[in-house]
Structure 1
Amino acid sequence: MPRTESIIYELHRRRVFRVALVYIVSAWVAIQVASEAFPGLGIPEIAIRYVWLGAILGFPIALVFGWFYDITAQGLVRTPPAGRNRDTGLALRKWDYGILAAMSLVLAATTVQMIERIRSIQPLDKIVDGDETTIVAPSRDGSVDAVSDSKITVAVLPFADLSPESDKQYFADGVHEEIISRLSTNRSLDVVSRTSVMAYRNPTANIRLIGAELGAGAVIEGSVRYAGEKVRVTAQLIDTSNDTHLWTRSFDRDLTIANLFAIQDEIAEQVAVGLNTQLQIDKIALPTSDLVAYDSFLLGKYHYRKSTPDDLLLSVQHLEAAVQKDPEFVDAWDWLAYAWNHAGVQQVWTTPAEAYPKARAAAVRALELEPGLAPSRALLAFLRAVYDWDWEPALLDLEWAAKADPTNSGTVWSYAFVLSLLGRHDEAIRQVESLADLSPEKPRLRQQVAYRLNDAGRYLEAIAAGEKALELGADAGQIEELLGVAQFGLGEIDKAIAHFESAIKLRGGYPDSLGQLASMYARKGYKGRARDILAELENRRSSSHISPVILAQIHTALGETDRAIALLEEAVDERDRGVLGVGQSLFFEDLRSDPRLQQLVTRIGLPMSL
């Protein structure tokens, strides 16, 4: 028998043709599943190439397996060698030729599909530099595709925490925030705000939909793995118009501050290259060289943003640990000042007499290290107003700070708040509206507009602004409370009660909401319910600080004027921030004719009514 016929006979006898056909069909199915499923699961399209590679490399392995082994009713057995008395004239049957034809067709179709897919996603250039791997998708003319010739909008989605214990989300959030900050200095890009993208942590929608919702032509996804003394940061840039990955990069480095910030700079630079924009990113000095201090700083920011009393306590503790570790850590001092200030407002585990002086000391230290730091200067001016009651000089300082940094929300809000306290409502509203108009997608900016409209007695406009903020993603509990105040201003007590009840459910029995609800109950005639809430709040005072102003609201609604005035005098002595608005507050309207309230407001140095 000629050699060729002998080989074909053996392939037939050992069922290699059948193995090849089954393998090709199975590989084709696997590739189809990967092509459809990977984009929806957020797996980079480059992974589909590896499925192809695995299928190609596995083919000869399958053929070798089919040559030596056979699957029978008794299980996997080794194919015996051909017998000496075999029929050397055995010809291939018709179905053998059918198998060969089917194999040829499937192989041809698969090859064509592979070529088309490669053309559609474009070949990727892979650059290896030490421990880093960059994969870039060039355009057909050799340069990297740009999403648009005009200014490009980029959204950086929250980075995932892939650390072994899944306990480093705060660290991943820190990397995410710094990348947004670095990209924001590139004047060729519009970068979607951190507040707007936080709703897309662990997104279920596909990239095209996310891009449409955020108005972004490109999206950056990433992850951080922080383990021991090593850090791995992975990022990928995706064109939202076609869900194509423009580049993917992984960084494996020793965990140092210098390496971490270098990674963040390089990601920002690669985004600029990937979008074919001019590189306009300014280098910045490292905030600290101490990794432990930086870790504590990120934890402090993480808890500060949660804003619950327990989180604020943790925030203060972590930020104090950061400045103890590195006394020249400017950003940590600045955030510590704001954390103490916020704690002084909440008054759960601290008092204004403790919190505000500590906030001032931290802000002073930050300014000693960096005299031009506008947020700390603004906070000092704010404390001069709300704690020292030195209104006009404080207002001048706040005006300077707002002009020096007109996009800093904390500074502008502080300035507007003091303007409202002084009865200059139109100016206050203009300040917060101008800021909100710069970033209309940010819910908290629109929420501040609603607050200042409430202060001005423009309740219908406040309701519209509050509902818009809620639509944008503002805290529902805070908005319900805001809407309750507006409805009370309109004389809609039943609607106000419904909003305050909803706020309590959402905020977990927050004292301000409870006091407002009890005040509404008393005005509605439900005095038993009002006294139940009053008793609950009085009981809480034995273990945590409850503002006397909250209790005074309830006593005023119950007609217990003497007790209300006594509580307000206590609040003045404590420098409680809540007492600053009593001269204009709807909740104390029944006391405005009382000379004792007028004396109190005069002592504070603020106007008496709207």
Structure 2
Amino acid sequence: MKRKNSFWNELKRRNVIKGAISYIVVAWLLLRIAVLLGDIMEMPLWISKSLFYLLLVCFPLYLIGSWIYEFTPSGLKRTSQVSESASIRRKTGKRLNKIIIAFLVICLVVLVIDRFVITDKVSENNFDIPSLASHSKTIAVLPFQDFSEKNDNSYFADGLTEALLNLLTQVEPLKVTSRTSTFSFKNSDLQLPEIAQKLNVTYILEGSVRKSGNLLRITAQLIDAKNDKHLWSETYDRKLDNIFAIQDEVSAAVVNALELNLLKSKPLPKSIKTNPEAYKLYLQAVQASHFSSDKQKLIEAVDLAKQALSIDNNYIPAWLLLSRVYETQGNNGTLGFEQGYTLAKEATKKVLEIDPKNALAYAYLADDELSYDWNFAKAKHLNEIALKLDGSNPEIISLTATLALSLGNVESAVRLQEYSASLDPLNPDTHYQLMNAYYCADLLDKAVETAKTCIELQPNRYALHYYYARILLQQNKLAAALEAIKKEDDEGWSLQIHSDIYFKLGDIEKSDAYMQELISKYTNDMAYQIAESYAFRNDKENAFKWLTKAYKVHDVGLNEVLSEPRFRSLHSDKRWHKFIEKMGFPKIEK
């Protein structure tokens, strides 16, 4: 005990303890400042990590130095060589006390600034990221099979599948794979364990529908696919007007079978009920809407949804469907851009009249404010409401990621799209958006891999090979970029990338020829892309000229102008800040 006390006293005598405390306080302050600067200036995470490891490695060296050496009026000397009469350890100790107190005060000030000034300011453009770890159970709802005599009720079987999927999505402990991925296995010969592996889920809900007139027979079974074990199955013989009760029964049975711990404050979700005939028309409208590239099918979807609403004008799913279809028609030319988005907003506002707490309606309205009105502040506000009402909905998460990218919050966009991809692993649209987020975040290797996944899932997807070529160009892989753009069918995209590639190769004459053809053919349609290419050339005059043109024609590409890497060369220009302010983006500090 005496020896231990003696060593402790020696540590105190040599100011090792006070030195350690002062080191920890100063180190914490430096790390905190590094983190704050990282948030404000969007510095790479490796800078603060490197500082942490450096301080950690230096700590024992500092302690050893404090033991071996001490400060004297004539400089740093070994402790063993300093006589007691010449030692100023007590003065040094008092100075260390003052240092500790002073830096503790500074730490307190930094904490206050962080809490009440910086955190509030940074959080304005941050988005809550759902936690994957919070989902203890993972499930996929496979398309129910149509066993009707004439096999003419696939729309009804698909509708039941989507209804169950939507209900289960609202159960917080569950992570539910989205529709696009599960429906890719419709009529598949793959065994359930293989499907579960591809979807990265443990449980699968599958079943069948047999419909005859107004009578239904629905069979459902829940399977632990990884262990090839049936957990629950049931057959329901009901009339068509009992379909909503069946949906609720099946979803409740799944929850019970999985032994989920639900919050008592959040009861199990219930189906939205309507007239059976209205429901039938709605399901047919949903099926038609899935052919998004077929303009005639979209017109059919609108007509069927309107018929459903003529029977039940308060049926929310039909209004939500109309909103999405109108927006698609506004973008694809079936309706004018203004007419399409006006009708979409009217349909969404109708939903909020019926149900002021409908999360999807707020998310759709936020998306319309973003794309059509460029009202970014309002879009952010509406999206926050949607997330608070339902932060686990995959569609809301995807729309939140789109908004995050528009506001220049690339890190949040990446994390949100990664989460979205985990919910919908076989959806090419999800991977397409994730590829773009990686590109904007300079995670080019990940962008390439995601592009390859997207090409594998949907090789003929519009503009996919264009974006793939652009990523390769950003990596300076010019030959690969030229090869990739050969597969792009759209002439406008092809002209732009060819111009950029040849500019990078130094063949200015060929680059200019492609650029002039692009301008002559697609002045209004691709004003934003033309501005991109001039920024890529570091031709600021023409870049700003075409950005102004893009603004006049309301080019929706401008939604991503803050995140687009090619425009970084313009960020230091005064005209950039004026343009961003004119667009209505949140104010950017100069």
Where do residues 96-115 of structure 1 align in structure 2 (5 Å cutoff)? none
2:170 corresponds to 1:169 = no
CA deviation after TM superposition for structure 1 residue 173, in Å: 1.2
Is the alpha carbon distance of 1:552 and 1:349 closer, same or farther for their aligned partners in structure 2, counting shifts above 3 Å? farther
CA deviation after TM superposition for structure 1 residue 526, in Å: 7.6
Is the alpha carbon distance of 1:354 and 1:232 closer, same or farther for their aligned partners in structure 2, counting shifts above 3 Å? same
Q: Which residue does 2:413 correspond to in 1? A: 428
Q: Which residue does 2:24 correspond to in 1? A: none
CA deviation after TM superposition for structure 1 residue 241, in Å: 5.9
Of the two structures, which has the highest relative contact order with CA contacts closer than 8 Å and spacing of 6 or more?
2
1:593 and 1:187 map into 2 onto residues whose CA distance is 45
Q: Which residue does 1:79 correspond to in 2? A: none
Q: Which residue does 2:181 correspond to in 1? A: 196
From 339, 351, 366, the equivalent of 2:336 is 351
From 253, 265, 270, the equivalent of 2:248 is 265
Q: Which residue does 1:604 correspond to in 2? A: 583
CA deviation after TM superposition for structure 1 residue 192, in Å: 4.2
CA deviation after TM superposition for structure 1 residue 370, in Å: 0.7
Q: Which amino acid aligns with 2:306?
A: E
Q: SS of 1:200's equivalent?
A: coil
Summarize deviations over 1:392-423 as a string: whole Å, max 9, x none: 34333333433443333443443443443343
Normalization by structure 2: what TM-score?
A: 0.60
Is the alpha carbon distance of 1:329 and 1:498 closer, same or farther for their aligned partners in structure 2, counting shifts above 3 Å? farther
Is the alpha carbon distance of 1:476 and 1:432 closer, same or farther for their aligned partners in structure 2, counting shifts above 3 Å? same
1:305 and 1:552 map into 2 onto residues whose CA distance is 32
2:325 corresponds to 1:342 = no
Q: Which residue does 1:37 correspond to in 2? A: none
CA deviation after TM superposition for structure 1 residue 382, in Å: 3.2
Q: SS of 1:502's equivalent?
A: coil
CA contact (8 A) 1:237 1:245 kept: yes
Q: Which amino acid aligns with 2:373?
A: D
Q: Over aligned residue pairs, what C-alpha RMSD do you find?
A: 4.6
2:497 corresponds to 1:520 = yes
CA deviation after TM superposition for structure 1 residue 255, in Å: 2.0
CA contact (8 A) 2:410 2:441 kept: yes
Where do residues 453-472 of structure 1 align in structure 2 (5 Å cutoff)? 453-467=438-452
2:483 and 2:248 map into 1 onto residues whose CA distance is 50
2:370 and 2:442 map into 1 onto residues whose CA distance is 23
Q: SS of 2:313's equivalent?
A: coil
CA contact (8 A) 2:138 2:203 kept: yes
Q: Which amino acid aligns with 1:155?
A: A
CA contact (8 A) 2:406 2:562 kept: no
From 202, 205, 210, the equivalent of 1:225 is 210
CA contact (8 A) 1:444 1:474 kept: no
From 440, 461, 484, the equivalent of 1:477 is 461
Q: Which amino acid aligns with 2:413?
A: A
CA deviation after TM superposition for structure 1 residue 365, in Å: 0.9
Q: SS of 1:381's equivalent?
A: helix
Where do residues 92-491 of structure 1 align in structure 2 (5 Å cutoff)? 153-184=138-169, 191-238=176-223, 240=225, 249-256=234-241, 259-271=242-254, 275=257, 277=259, 282=267, 284-310=269-295, 311-344=297-330, 346-433=331-418, 436=421, 444-467=429-452, 473=457, 477=461, 479-491=464-476
Q: Which residue does 1:547 correspond to in 2? A: 525
CA deviation after TM superposition for structure 1 residue 367, in Å: 0.7
Unaligned stretches of 5+ in structure 2? Answer: 1-134, 503-509
CA deviation after TM superposition for structure 1 residue 366, in Å: 0.7
Bigger Rg, structure 1 or 2: 1
2:557 corresponds to 1:578 = yes
Q: Which residue does 2:69 correspond to in 1? A: none
Q: SS of 2:493's equivalent?
A: helix
Normalization by structure 1: what TM-score?
A: 0.59
Is the alpha carbon distance of 1:237 and 1:449 closer, same or farther for their aligned partners in structure 2, counting shifts above 3 Å? closer
Is the alpha carbon distance of 1:260 and 1:468 closer, same or farther for their aligned partners in structure 2, counting shifts above 3 Å? same
Q: SS of 2:274's equivalent?
A: coil
Q: SS of 1:407's equivalent?
A: coil
CA contact (8 A) 1:428 1:452 kept: yes
CA contact (8 A) 2:274 2:315 kept: no
1:300 and 1:609 map into 2 onto residues whose CA distance is 48
Q: SS of 2:219's equivalent?
A: strand
Q: Which amino acid aligns with 1:547?
A: D
CA deviation after TM superposition for structure 1 residue 377, in Å: 1.6
Unaligned stretches of 5+ in structure 1? Answer: 1-149, 505-512
| Residue correspondences, number | 441
Q: Which amino acid aligns with 2:310?
A: Q
From 440, 462, 481, the equivalent of 1:496 is 481
Is the alpha carbon distance of 1:452 and 1:271 closer, same or farther for their aligned partners in structure 2, counting shifts above 3 Å? closer
Is the alpha carbon distance of 1:399 and 1:184 closer, same or farther for their aligned partners in structure 2, counting shifts above 3 Å? closer
Is the alpha carbon distance of 1:284 and 1:423 closer, same or farther for their aligned partners in structure 2, counting shifts above 3 Å? closer
Is the alpha carbon distance of 1:314 and 1:460 closer, same or farther for their aligned partners in structure 2, counting shifts above 3 Å? farther
CA deviation after TM superposition for structure 1 residue 276, in Å: 7.3
